[in-house]
Amino acid sequence: MISTLPFGSTGFHSTRILFGAAAVARMRPDRVERTLATVERYGVNHIDTAASYGDSELNLAGWLRSKRGEVFLATKTGDRDGDSARASLERSLERMGVDHVDCIQLHNLTDEAGWQQAMAKGGAVEALAQARDEGLCRFLGVTGHGTFAPAFHLRSLEEFEFASVLVPYNYSMMAQPEYASDFAALERACSERGVALQTIKSVARRRWQPEDESKRFSWYEPIRDPEALTRAVHWVLSREGVFLNSSSDGGLLQATLEAAASFEASSAAPSETMMRDDASALAIEPLFVRGVSDQI
């Protein structure tokens, strides 16, 4: 089993591995069933999906009929104006067959125009806060990709009392001093304010290369070497207080959960030398580099 931590100030204790339900976006029903059985077997109690994740919400619906009361359920909307964000949330509830989600997150809120619109009167934040007051969700969160995500989240936390944030976090991203500094500032703010800090891209290797012939189940190439993947997961979990969202590549779920379980048994963080050697041997690169590749 995997240990739990308070998910910010929500009152819920989430497993440190959160199931990234983008993994079931395009799965056949039998594969969805097996995947969710794996989630159950390891005791994962936090599901993270999004309106834009293909059929993910629809594929969760049958499972949620009997499991809804046991899990923290989060989804996302990419809409920035209030009416559209409210409609997105209502469609998500309908697709999943639930009367509320625990958290509705503003998806990838990392551009100035979108941020201004979402925060303005009549914007997504106002509308979703109203939906919260009506019982359609319990909390609001904000997510982001790219190197500017931590800085935007700090601004967002100044503007509204979000319950959670989500940012990229792995060895190669944190090797960039500017990003590492921004992440540390966000981490401090989350600790002070009781905000849950979720991380993504823990097992990312690099962006796909033209010559790559592997099957693609996520927009980036993941680390597939079992020992390196285990070290990547351990490296994330060795940072106290953060949550790790599993990859959209469902084929990595079992290995990720096994790695998390083995970390619980040892609590040993991989050394700097181990991580540096993996980065060199596997040609690991940051998915996002400021001024070069800051978008998906």
Task: Find the distance separating the first CA and the last CA of the chain, reported in whole Å.
Answer: 33
Task: Give the pLDDT confidence score for residue 43 in this predicted structure.
Answer: 97
The span from the CA of 25 to the CA of 49, in Å, is: 9
pLDDT for the residue 198 = 98
CA 164 from chain centre, in angstroms, equals: 10
CA dihedral angle for residue 216, residue 109, residue 242, residue 226, rounded to 10 degrees? 10
Percent of the chain topping pLDDT 70: 99
Q: Which one-letter amino acid corresponds to residue 11?
A: G
| Position 54, amino acid | G
**Helices first, then strands: H and E counts in the chain:** 11, 12
Which range scores top for mean pLDDT: 193-197, 218-222, 261-265? 193-197
Residues 136-170 pLDDT 10s = 999 999 999 999 999 999 999 999 999 999 999 99
Report residue 168 CA to chain centroid gap.
Answer: 8
Predicted pLDDT at 148: 97
Q: So where are the chain's domains?
A: 4-281
Task: Give the residue ranges of DSSP H helices in the chain.
Answer: 29-41, 56-67, 82-96, 112-119, 124-133, 149-159, 171-174, 177-193, 226-237, 253-266, 272-281
Quick one: which of 132, 21, 143 has its CA closest to 86? 132
Per residue in 14-39, pLDDT tens? 999 999 999 999 999 999 999 999 99
DSSP 110: -
Distance, in Å, from the CA atom of 128 to the CA atom of 115, rounded to the nearest integer, reads 15
Whether residue 269 is predicted with pLDDT greater than 90 in this model: the reply is no
Pair 117, 123: CB distance under 8 Å: yes
Contacts of 69 (CB under 8 A, 6+ apart): none
Asked if residue 266 has pLDDT above 80, the reply is no
For β-strands 13-15 and 17-20, DSSP reports them as: unpaired
Predicted TM-score (pTM) of this structure? 0.96
CATH code of the domain made up of 4-281: 3.20.20.100
pLDDT band at 217, cuts 50/70/90? confident
Say yes or no to pLDDT of 288 above 90.
yes
- CB-based burial label for 104 (10 Å; 0-12, 13-18, 19+): buried
The 10s digit of each residue's pLDDT in 72-87 is 999 999 999 999 999 9
3-state helix, strand, coil split of the chain in percent (to 5) is 45, 20, 35
Count of residues for the chain?
296
> What pLDDT was estimated at residue 265?
66
The one-letter amino acid at 68:
R
Identify the helix (H) or strand (E) that includes residue 41: helix 29-41
β-strands 4-6, 13-15 pairing: antiparallel
